Amino acid sequence: MKLINKTIPSTLLTIFIFSIFIYARAVGYGDLRLSVATIDTETYITSARNPLFSWQGFSGRRLFTTNLLFKLSTKAECPAPVPSNPFHGQEREREILPCFQTIALTQNALSIFGWCLLAYLFSKRINNPFYKILSIITILGFGFTPQIAEWDSVLNVESITLSLGVISLALLIESAHRFPKILQGYSASLLDILIITLFLFVFLLWVFARDAHLYAIFTLLILIIPLFLFKPIRNMKWMVGITLLLIITFIFGSATSQASTRWHPSIEHSMNYYILPYPARVAFMMERGMPNPNDTSAYKQWFETKANKDYAVFLLSHPGFILTTYFELSSYLRSDFLQTFFPTPKLEYYTTLLKIGEALHPETNHTYILSILLFISISISAISTKNTTIISWAWLASCFLFTPPSHLP
Amino acid sequence: MRLSTYGDIQLSIAGNDTQSYIDASHVPLFSSEILTGRRLLSTNLLYKFFEPKDGYKIIVNGSIETTRRIVQPSFTGIVGLQLILSLFGWGFLAFIVANHLDNLLTKILAVSTILLFAFTPQIADWDSILMSESLTFSLFALEIGLTVKIVFMIFNNQNHNIKIYLLFGAIVHFIWTFLRDTNLFVSLLTFSMIALILFSAHYRKNKNIHSVLIFFGFIFTLGLITASNSTRSQVQLINLYQDDLLPNAIRFETLKELGMPDPNTPEYQTWFSQNAGKALIQFMIKHPGYPIIKVLSDFPFAFTEIKQTYFKAPELNPTREILMNIGNALHSENTTPFLASLVLLIGFIHLFYKNIPKSKAWAWIGLWLFLCASITLIPTILGDTWALNRHALFSTTLYRLFMWLFTIVLIDISLQQKIY
């Protein structure tokens, strides 16, 4: 409770800022039960009918975490609501859907809790009172402007992905800053273990929200395994346990993903856009065992069993392709952050919120350059000062920087 | 790279305003009109100096439609000078900034960032356009470089001989100020910030500071007198009255209360030429909500659509496309640079109070740069309703430059500290 133990005025100011933001977020976007369905919503409802802790629960059309969330609506055998389809000009207004109001409410509550937790735990690690306040305002402003907040009304995976991601990030920051103390020989307290366990729990929920999140385990393992070079870490059995748990989860996630049909649409798109129109790439894939695409039945059989593995081999052996495609499509990474499923209210304060959101969510690539610059700087600082706090921030910065690109392929 | 990737260095294109620069330069050199005409002294001198014997001939005008640049023989001198000043100005800034950083990595970062910032199409394209933007950017880059040099010399050792830099700086500032009327506010700002330094007994007896103060005071007075007696302010007032004030019934009534005749009567023109400016100031004092709301509502818009729209150059692809993508990352078209600059500035002021080495000079330069952007943006928004993005381009470019420059400086300072 370092944040609020200094003086009464600063505590009151912090509480006041949190209260203002929470109140504004709770009332500024209309009734928190309002929601809108998309063309994917029906698949979440159907998938949630599988038993949660079963093979189908993990290898079905949708993943465990969204199945868990949509269980909230399946008890009443809810029919899928009419979807909003902006691509075909059929945008729908949000409404209170009796079957789905609990989901909308949960999404909103998780979002508010998640951003507040991140603001609190991040600011706790900042020394200067002014920057503590600035970090709280910036994080809450970031999370509570329409670019993020509107997704909480959409019955899809985005809201839960963002909220669980933010909660795991907050807990990871807290865990990483508790680590140096443990490294110095202090035994882990109950609170330390509780926070690390909580992080793992939320992180795994986040991993099983979307298949692409599985690669975040891979990134985390790459950042954890080198820590075993330090003797104190090698002696921590629970660290070995965490590493094993992550490896097992990664294997389990890969197996359930492979057994599912979830990857079919994305691999089909990749084949259609990146492979089949290019004879050299087709030749490479055929060398790996892909049948002639004109042989429909053989191609279909290969596609359903091996296409994702062979495509992964193609990506690994063509790093130049990954780079050029990344740059060609980089405009997608800096545009259209706003949801398009429901029309935004035509209110004056809402326009102001959008403008503030535009400043905090710039639709340009400069965020990536800035992130790299700051990462390099903090890494050099960590190496030159060997200060544990800086090392913790540099380690966290690696997670920040390397987790998102692992989702791109 | 800059010389080889933008096509023939003699290529140019005019805008609708180019003719007014040519016409304004035809007034006699030693007359008051050269200061109070439709355009300002610096562009008047430039167009007068490079005028061919048979006069300027505009062959291609990009304001009519976005088209290709061509070599316009009568403008090769001007476009050549714009390019040379651009290369020299931005190059000088990159060199000086790098020279005042300690870490090798940040030196390399500073040089690459500043040169990429300036040599991507978002800035470099203006060097082919026959208006005042290119000179505004290049000369101010030169001025920032000189300011960094002078400020560091004064803060490090008051007895440094800085006369040559002061002289060079004075020439650059004089030419730059008389490119656009809003640049005048920078003289006022610099005068005030230097005057504040004199409150410190340490600097009070420094004769160099006294001379600089007198120079900025003189420039501001001269600029103010010539601008208020000029015909160019009338055009901006006409736009402002027509687009913003007269269509609104309440504002219309207020102006009538301030003595404005009916706009459909012949008396209106006489009243307008003599009283429109004063009436506008009185109106803003009476209704302070008007300027506040106007600044707030137009502020985000001023940061958008910053790319020139006068010419296209598909023949330079794919290089141009790559440069454009890099430029998009460095020149974000939203208010983020303003927010980021503000946060960075607060950080530098904090470092100043903590007495972190070098932070005093950087904090002064940062505050000056941030206020230069702000003090020129506000009158731009309030002074005209036309082409806000282009008129505000100097200010928004400064915010964007600030964001990159001071991030690198902050990294450099943090890498030198052993405070952790």
Question: B110 CB near a chain A CB, below 8 Å?
Answer: no
Q: pLDDT tens digits for B23-54?
A: 999 988 888 888 888 888 999 999 999 999 99
Q: What is the pLDDT of residue B419?
A: 47
Nearest to B329 among A355, A364, A374 (CB): A364
Residue-level pLDDT at A229 = 84
What gap in Å lies between CA A120 and CA A107, rounded to an integer?
Answer: 20
Which residues on B lie below 8 Å from A390 (Cβ)? Answer: 420
Q: What is the pLDDT of residue A75?
A: 67
> Mind spelling out the 3-state secondary structure of chain B?
CCCCCCCCCCEEEECCCHHHHHHHCCCCCCCCHHHHCCCCHHHHHHHHHCCCCCCCCCCCECCCCCECCEECHHHHHHHHHHHHHHHHHHHHHHHHHHHCCCCHHHHHHHHHHHHHHHHCHHHHHHHHECCCHHHHHHHHHHHHHHHHHHHHHHHHCCCCCCHHHHHHHHHHHHHHHCCCHHHHHHHHHHHHHHHHHCCCHHHHCCHHHHHHHHHHHHHHHHHHHHHHCCCHHHHHHHHHHHHHHCCCHHHHHHHHHCCCCCCCCCHHHHHHHHHHHHHHHHHHHHCCHHHHHHHHHHHHHHCCCCCCCCECCHHHCCHHHHHHHHHHHHCCCCCHHHHHHHHHHHHHHHHHHCCCCCHHHHHHHHHHHHHHHHHHHHHHHHHCCCCHHHHCHHHHHHHHHHHHHHHHHHHHHHHHCCCC
- At A308 the pLDDT is 86
CA distance B257 to B242: 18
| Position B108 confidence tier, pLDDT thresholds 50, 70, 90 | very high
Q: Could you tell me if A184 and A323 lie in one domain? A: no
pLDDT at B194: 92
Query: Does A372 contact B at CB distance below 8 Å?
Result: no
Q: Tell me if B183 is assigned to some domain.
A: yes
Q: Is A390 on the interface with B (CB under 8 A)?
A: yes
Q: Is residue B119 part of a domain?
A: yes
Asked, for residue A246, whether it belongs to a domain, the answer is: no
Give the rounded percent of residues in chain B with a pLDDT score beyond 70.
Answer: 99
Domain boundary among A328, A347, A367: A328
- Do A56 and A130 sit in the same domain of this protein? yes
The residue from A209, A242, A275 where one domain ends is A209
pLDDT of residue A217: 92
B199 touches chain A (CB under 8 A): no
Tens digit of each residue's pLDDT (9 = 90 or more) over A342-386: 998 777 788 889 889 988 998 887 888 888 888 988 898 888 888
Q: For A90, phi and psi rounded to 5 degrees?
A: -110, 70
pLDDT in tens, B264-291: 888 888 888 888 888 888 888 888 888 8
Find the domain containing B195 and state its range.
11-233+297-416
Strands A154-155 and A34-37: parallel
Examine the domain organization and report whether A29 and A130 are in the same domain: yes
Residue A143 belongs to some domain of the structure: yes
Looking at the domain assignment, is residue B283 inside a domain? no
Task: Determine which of A366, A367, A386, A390 to mutate to test the interface with B (most B C-beta atoms within 10 Å).
Answer: A366
Q: Are residues A149 and A50 in the same domain?
A: yes
* CA separation for the pair B55, B48 (Å, rounded): 10
CA distances from A243 to A222, A232, B46 (A): 10, 15, 70
pLDDT digits 0-9 by tens, B349-381 = 999 988 888 889 999 999 999 999 999 998 888
**pLDDT value, residue A406:** 53
In a domain? residue A239: no
The domain total for chain A is 2
Does residue B54 fall inside a structural domain?
A: yes
Instruction: Report the number of distinct structural domains present in chain B.
Output: 1
The pLDDT > 90 percentage for chain B reads 57
Could you give the CA distance from residue B411 to residue B105 in angstroms, rounded to a whole number? Answer: 10
Would residue B273 count as lying in a domain?
no
Of A330-339, B241-250, B315-324, the poorest mean pLDDT is in: A330-339
User: String of b and e for B28-53 (b: at least 16 CB within 10 Å)?
Assistant: eeeeeebbbbbbbbbbbebbbebbee
Closest Cα of chain B to A236: distance in Å? 28
Residue B287 · residue B263 · CB < 8 Å: no
Q: What is the pLDDT of residue B420?
A: 41
What pLDDT score does A263 carry?
84
Which regions of chain A are under pLDDT 70? 1-7, 74-76, 404-409
CB-based contact A358 B350, cutoff 8 Å: no
Q: Residue A166 gets which letter from DSSP? A: H
Nearest-Cα distance to chain B for A362, in Å, is 6
Checking if the pLDDT of B418 tops 70, the result is: no
Contacts of B408 in chain A (CB under 8 A): 373
Asked if A377 lies within 8 A of B335 by C-beta distance, the reply is no
**Is B142 or A386 the better-scoring residue by pLDDT?**
B142
Which residue in A134, A369, A377 is closest to B411 by CB distance?
A377
Residues A157 and A280 in one domain: no
Mean pLDDT of chain B: 90
Average pLDDT value for residue range B102-129: 95
Task: Decide if B336 and A377 are in contact by the 8 Å CB cutoff.
Answer: no
Range of the structural domain that residue A73 is part of: 2-209
Residue B280 is predicted with a pLDDT of 85
Model pLDDT, residue B278: 84
The per-residue pLDDT for B13 is 96
A273 with A190, same domain? Answer: no
| CA A154 vs CA A33, A265, A294, A356, B351: distances in Å | 11, 21, 40, 22, 44
